[in-house]
Amino acid sequence: MKPEIDITKMGKLIITAAITGGIHGKKANPNIPEQPEEQAREAYECYNAGAAIVHLHVRDRQGVPTGDLRVYEETISKIKAKCNILTQVGNGIGEIIEPDGSVRNPSLEERMKLLEIEPKPDMITINAGSFDFGGTHIFPNPPDFNEKFVKRARERNIPVECECYDIGHLNNILTLAQKGLLNKPIHFSFVLGIIGGIPSTSKNMLHMVEEIPGGSSWQVITISRYQLPMTVQALCMGANIRTGLEDNIYYSKGVLASNAQMVERMVKIAREIGREVATPEEARKFFASAH
C-alpha cells in the first residue's frame, strides 16, 4: 500500500532546521553558526521560530568540518541546556581540510564513531547509497556500512532518518527494512538537486513518494534556488520539511538569510494553508518507534 496524498487531511508539520552544514562557512554567509555556543543560540532561535529538530554538523576552532566527538558533545549539551528541540546528527560530517590544505572525505570509521556521542543525539541520519557528490568526489555509503550503522543506532535507541539522493537509494533502505533493521514508520528524506543525484523536479519528487511504503513519513531536502518552491510543494502534499543555511544561504535573490528567518517563513506558509506545526514533544513521540 503506497502513501496516499490527500491535501484535505494533512498531519502536523515537523520542521527541521539544518543550521550549519559541512561545506560552506561564514565567508558565504556570516550568519552560519560554526562554534558550539553559536549553534546552541541558533538552535534556540529556530526552536522559538517553530522548528522541532535541529540538524547538526560541527566545526573546529578554525571553522573546518570535524568529526571530533568532543565538539559534538559540547554542542549538544549546550543546545539541551537551552531548549528541548530534538538534536539530529548528520553522519556525512563534511569535507575535512588537512593542515597541508588537502581535502579528504571522513573515513567510515570516523563516521561510525558518531554513534558514541554523549549525550546521545535524539536522531541520526544515514545516506542511503554511494554517489558522485557534486561531480567532484565519491561519497561512499556502502551497504555493509549502513547495515552496521543502523544496527548500532538501534542498540543505542537512536531513531534514524534515511537520506535518499536517487531513486535506487530507496531500494537500499527497503532492503534494510526487509532485514528487520528499520522499524516502520520509516522516515525518508528525498535529497533533490545535488549534482550526481536525482534532479530537483516535481515529477521526480512525486515518483519517489510513490515508491515508499505506506505509513512512511517523508520530507524533501533541496538546495539553492530549488529550496523554496520544492519545499512548499512538499508541504502542500503533507510532507515534513527541512530548511536552513546548510541548504540555502539566501532568503531571496541576493539577500542573505538567517536560520530563524527560514523557519519563520515556513511556519507562516504552513499556517496559511491550514497546517499545524508540531512541537518537539510531538516530533519526539512520532519518531520514537522509527529506528
Report the amino acid identity of residue 251: Y
Mean pLDDT of 25-53: 97
* CA gap 56, 97 in Å, rounded: 19
Neighbour tally for 77: CB within 10 Å? 14
Give the pLDDT confidence score for residue 1 in this predicted structure. Answer: 46
pLDDT at 41 exceeding the cut of 50: yes
Give the pLDDT confidence score for residue 289 in this predicted structure. Answer: 60
CA-based nearest residue to 218, from 162, 289, 274, 288:
162
Nearest 10 degrees: CA dihedral of 217, 214, 151, 205?
-50
Q: What is the pTM of this model?
A: 0.94
* CA gap 283, 14 in Å, rounded: 7
pLDDT at 254 exceeding the cut of 80: yes
Q: What is the pLDDT of residues 143-163, one digit of tens each?
A: 999 999 999 999 999 999 999
Report the chain's terminal Cα–Cα distance, integer Å: 21
pLDDT at 173 exceeding the cut of 70: yes
- Give the burial class of 41: count Cβ atoms within 10 A of its Cβ; 0-12 exposed, 13-18 middle, 19 or more buried: middle
Q: Please, are residues 69 and 86 in contact by the beta-carbon 8 Å criterion? A: no
Give the pLDDT confidence score for residue 238 in this predicted structure. Answer: 93
Q: What is the pLDDT of residues 187-237, one digit of tens each?
A: 999 999 999 999 999 999 999 999 999 889 999 999 888 999 999 999 999
Q: What is the pLDDT of residues 51-69, one digit of tens each?
A: 999 999 999 999 999 999 9
Domains by residue range for the chain, with CATH: 15-287 (3.20.20.70)
* CA gap 52, 122 in Å, rounded: 11
Q: What is the pLDDT of residues 82-133, one digit of tens each?
A: 999 999 999 998 888 888 878 888 999 999 999 999 999 999 999 999 998 8
